[in-house]
Amino acid sequence: MRARRVLSLLLAGAVLAGAGCSDAGTEPPPTGTLPVSDVNPTSRDRVRTGGTLRWPLPEFPVQWNFHHINGSRGVVEQVVQGVLPSLMRSDAKGVPHPVPAYLESAEVTRTRPRQVVTYRLNPRARWSDGRPIGLRDFASQARALSGRDRRFQVSTVTGYGQIARVEKGDRAHEVRVVFRRPYADWRSLFSPLYPAGTCDDPETFNNGWLGRVPVSAGPFRVAAVDRTAETVTLERDPGWWGRPAKLDRIVFRAMDTSAMPGAFANDEIDLMDIGVDAAALRRVENVRGAVVRRAGGPDWRHFTLNAAGPVLSDARVRRAVMMGIDRRAIARSDLADLGWPVQTLGNHFFVNTQEGYRDNSGELGRYDPERAARLLDEAGWRLAGDHRVKDGRTLALRFVVPSGVPGSKQEGELARALLARIGVRVDIETVPTDDLFDRYVTPGDFDIVPFSWLGTAFPLSPLRSVFARPRGEDIQQNYSRLGTPEIDVAMDRAITELDPARARRLVNEADRLIWRLATVLPLYQRPQIVATRGGLANLGAGGFQEIAYEDIGFTGPSAQGRGPARAPGGF
């Protein structure tokens, strides 16, 4: 689940190594060394024109509006990055730069009495319906995502809620955004940008992108969305004004992650995210011509606890659960046989390799079953045999896992064994991967759920909605359903600080408060381990680097023959 990109709070840490080259990525990184990016960077003149890239997805989304509460997912982002405007693109160090196809420049042009950001748009930029990209699109999206109209079911209002107005600039193709108060992460806004017609009214915003992508403005356009085959086909857009896409098409196909290694070995897909699946890694390493690419990822694995549930509403029980879980044991199990350093994560905003990272976990990050047991005693849950009881009921927690992610069930089994030692029963419930968020996480039908937050170069903007106090039924992305005024104030102080060093300190102050609340248990920085065809260029394990879809392609004979026969139904 990712919300968008911006700067000011961090750059990649100095411990990172250099980017990989065309034949790099086959060896695991030495202990303690995490490559910054490994995407086989290749100049466009060495990338063949033509061919189809077959790209698997772990689920098939219904909602293609990324800014909708049900659309803010990594799989949605993977598709819309190729068809919608992203005004900024981060490099391998996490530094954002304007994308020339959309922006000639973007800068803060005034700080007092209010911060003003001026965008100078590329005059050639236009939507697929022929309308120029301009003021109305910025104003409409800012209004819809501001949070002032609750009918818009938005995933986050961070940043947009601080916009006072959007107005025409002094020159043609200029848009000025005036903020109510300083906003350090302004570069994260308007990416992806949706057309004004999407954001003008709640009905279109909430339902206009269900099962379809009606408008585009990128190097690719959507040729077909096949719900039965669970495929989305992008094709090169002849109306694109930027550098033409090297590929003819990209076919995204949903499949269980457990099926991806076989599909890769059988030449049905061209890349796959191995994640932390050691068995999958062993299998793809034996595929002729395959390359395994590795980078220190911006994403992080965690357990979210549902603080609105009858048991976990008690902070003492939440803290006991956290201290009763050996995070290092889970990280060691998840990362076993991957050739990857095992290191727990002590922060909800920064990953270990980022500038600004501090371990703020304190006692909640330490495995301490004795202390956990005492907390349960204090909460009135007494030990009766192997289980704790209170008011005639057993202390039991539902650990909900997606069916297509075997590692999640393994995490549940480890958590069950660990928590059994302090008398807490854990019932593992496996649900369809496509239903995990819509039917379980978002409605709050769970006690503990494991998944990964997708990180960006700007950790606070997308994650503010994860830790901000829910507003009635509007939880945004706070699936724990709990927050405090103090946390909100701390995050707001950080996000209005324009000095990067001070901003990082303020983010860590907010993080310490979040640890105290005991709602989200970080586990580890998630490695990016991606298997690709050897000839696939400009795509792989990007780390913080965001990919230019028009530059993706093949460099060798593997590009030959990848034409229409690889469209949906040809797998």
Q: What is the token pair recorded at 177?
A: 């955004």
d(CA 260, CA 280) in angstroms, rounded, equals 8
The Cα 390–Cα 392 span in angstroms is 5
Burial of 381 (0-12, 13-18, 19+ CB in 10 A): buried
Task: Using the CB atoms, write b or e for 473-493: b if 16+ within 10 Å.
Answer: eebbbbbbbbbeeebbebbbe
Q: Amino acid identity, residue 439?
A: R
Contact 110, 116 (CB under 8 A): yes
**To which residue do tokens 């949706």 refer?**
194
Residues with pLDDT less than 70, the chain:
1-34, 557-571
Q: Which of 520, 1, 475 is nearest to 304 (CA)?
A: 520
Percent of the chain with pLDDT over 70: 91
Q: Which of 124, 81, 80 is nearest to 102 (CA)?
A: 124
CA angle at 192 for the pair 187 and 194, rounded to the nearest 5°: 125
The C-alpha atoms of residue 85 and residue 105 are separated, in whole angstroms, by 15
- What is the structure's pLDDT at 23? 35
Please, which residues have CB within 8 angstroms of residue 170's CB and are 6 or more apart in sequence?
none
Q: Which helix (H) or strand (E) holds 453?
A: strand 448-453
CA angle in degrees (0–180, nearest 5) for 221-154-11 = 75
Question: What's the confidence (pLDDT) of residue 558?
Answer: 47
- Per the listing, tokens 């919608």 go with 84
Query: What is the distance between the alpha carbons of residues 65 and 208, in angstroms, rounded to a whole number?
Result: 8
Distance CA 308, CA 440 (A): 13
Q: Calculate the alpha carbon distances from 84 to 184, 238, 406 in Å.
A: 24, 15, 33
SS3 214: coil
For residue 219, say if its preceding peptide bond is cis, omega within 30 degrees of 0: no
Both tokens of 484, joined, read 């405090």
Nearest to 84 by CA among 243, 191, 244, 4: 191
Taking only the tens place, the pLDDT of each residue in 190-212 is 999 999 999 999 999 999 999 99
Does residue 178 contact residue 116 with C-beta atoms inside 8 Å? yes
What is the per-residue pLDDT across 448-484, written as a single tens digit (0 to 9) for each? Answer: 999 999 777 787 877 888 999 998 877 888 999 999 9
Is there a contact between 4 and 461 (Cβ–Cβ < 8 Å)?
yes
Distances (CA, A) of 515 to 52, 127, 273, 355, 361: 46, 44, 30, 20, 6
Q: How far apart are CA 401 and CA 407, in angstroms?
A: 9
- DSSP secondary structure of 90-148: E-TTS-EEE-TTTEEEEEEEE-SSS-EEEEEE-TT-B-TTSPBP-HHHHHHHHHHTTSS
∠ at Cα 520 (515, 523), nearest 5°?
A: 95
pLDDT at 354: 81
Please tell me the distance from the alpha carbon of residue 479 to that of residue 306, in angstroms, as a whole number. 7
Which residues are paired to 55 by β-bridges?
Answer: 252
φ/ψ (deg, to 5) at 97: -135, 145
The first and second tokens of residue 190, run together, are 């308007």
The string over 25-61, giving b where at least 16 C-beta atoms fall within 10 Å of a residue's C-beta and e elsewhere, is: beebbeeeebbbbbbbbbeeeebbebbbbbbbbbbbb
Distance separating alpha carbons of residues 65 and 71, to the nearest angstrom: 5
Q: Tell which residue, 213, 232, 224, 192, has the closest CA to residue 81.
A: 192
Whole-number pLDDT of residue 298: 87
- pLDDT value at residue 94: 80
Q: pTM for this one? A: 0.76
